[in-house]
């Protein structure tokens, strides 16, 4: 094992340890980050110039190109209102007079209030009881004014791929927004793309910075290089023909195990 291989092994172990310790990471993003780390640092085929990072990543994940774009879309840095309002109590939120609990009756009136520091929303709901409606009035006025002073929300989702890898992520997120409807119209937040760049929110665990992986192994040496583009269908077909021809040439002299080739699928045309 060369010194570079030993260094790559240590770096991959550090990456995996950090990824598994990141509690806010969705499973799909975790799989993609670990796969990218593997094909960049540990994959025995990483020295093969005919196999791109993304081509090998798709093989590792057993995914087509469309699935890769879906995983990138899921990591687009954004504010997801569902995450901040998911813990809102159901039912009327006005307090009872003689009992230490909330009313809890079915909500008839609801509205959102926005935090002036974070831009995050908080949902309020109240029933039709006169006492509960009276309790809601000052909150409603406060919420109405908060909407006019609301700052750009601090992102609370995504932004983990840039935390570990240096690449042109803004362009990739924008491309994913064109292809995947769940983030249609996405725009880069002013706070930055990487989750460790965002302002800290009270009560929320902020991801810590991590040395970004920006090097790949090539012919036994570590060289600075941009991550290759996600390959198109035509590029995959060209690579298929090249590998097939090389295999035919080798078969004249010895019996070899040909690598499994997956023909382009319908999803692969999403590039």
pLDDT in tens, 162-211: 999 988 899 999 999 999 999 999 999 999 999 999 999 988 888 888 88
- Domain boundaries, given as residue ranges, for the chain: 3-79+159-269, 81-148
10 Å CB burial of residue 149 (0-12, 13-18, 19+) is exposed
Residue 102 has pLDDT above 70, yes or no: yes
261 closest CA partner among 271, 188, 249, 244: 244
As a whole number, mean pLDDT of residues 69-93 equals: 91
pLDDT at 153: 96
pLDDT at 244: 47
Q: CB within 8 A of 35, min separation 6: which ones?
A: 57, 60, 61
Tokens of 40: 């960049």
pLDDT at 214: 59
49-53, 167-171, 218-222, 247-251: the lowest-pLDDT one = 218-222
160 closest CA partner among 76, 69, 53: 76
pLDDT at 33: 95
**Of 215 and 42, the one with more pLDDT:** 42
pLDDT at 48: 80
**Within 10 Å of residue 245's Cβ, how many Cβ atoms?**
10
Q: Is residue 183 a contact partner of residue 177, using CB atoms and an 8 Å limit?
A: yes
As a whole number, mean pLDDT of residues 252-263 equals: 36
Residue 227 has pLDDT above 50, yes or no: no
Please give the mean pLDDT across all residues of the chain: 81
**Of 104 and 24, the one with more pLDDT:** 104
pTM for this model (two decimals): 0.73
């Amino acid at each position: 094992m060369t010194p570079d291989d030993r260094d790559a092994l240590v770096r991959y172990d550090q990456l995996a340890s950090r990824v598994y310790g990141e509690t806010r990471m969705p499973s799909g993003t975790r799989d993609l980050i670990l796969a990218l780390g593997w094909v960049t640092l540990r994959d025995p085929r990483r020295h093969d110039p005919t196999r791109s990072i993304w081509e090998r990543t798709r093989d590792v994940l057993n995914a087509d190109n469309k699935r890769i774009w879906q995983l990138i879309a899921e990591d687009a840095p954004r504010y997801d209102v569902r995450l901040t309002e998911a813990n809102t109590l159901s039912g009327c939120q006005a307090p009872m007079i003689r009992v230490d609990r909330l009313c809890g009756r079915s909500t008839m009136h609801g509205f959102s209030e926005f935090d002036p520091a974070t831009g995050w929303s908080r949902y309020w709901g109240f029933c039709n009881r006169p006492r509960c409606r009276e309790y809601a009035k000052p909150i409603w006025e406060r919420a109405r004014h908060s909407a006019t002073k609301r700052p750009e929300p601090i992102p609370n989702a995504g932004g983990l791929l840039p935390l570990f890898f240096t690449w042109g992520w803004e362009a990739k997120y924008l491309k994913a927004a064109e292809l995947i409807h769940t983030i249609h119209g996405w725009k880069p937040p002013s706070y930055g793309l990487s989750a460790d760049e965002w302002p800290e929110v009270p009560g929320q665990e902020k991801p810590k910075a991590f040395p970004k992986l920006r090097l790949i192994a090539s012919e036994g040496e570590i060289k600075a290089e941009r991550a290759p583009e996600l390959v198109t269908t035509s590029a995959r077909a060209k690579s298929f023909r090249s590998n097939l021809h090389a295999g035919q040439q080798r078969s004249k002299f010895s019996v070899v195990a040909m690598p499994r080739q997956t023909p382009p699928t319908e999803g692969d045309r999403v590039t």
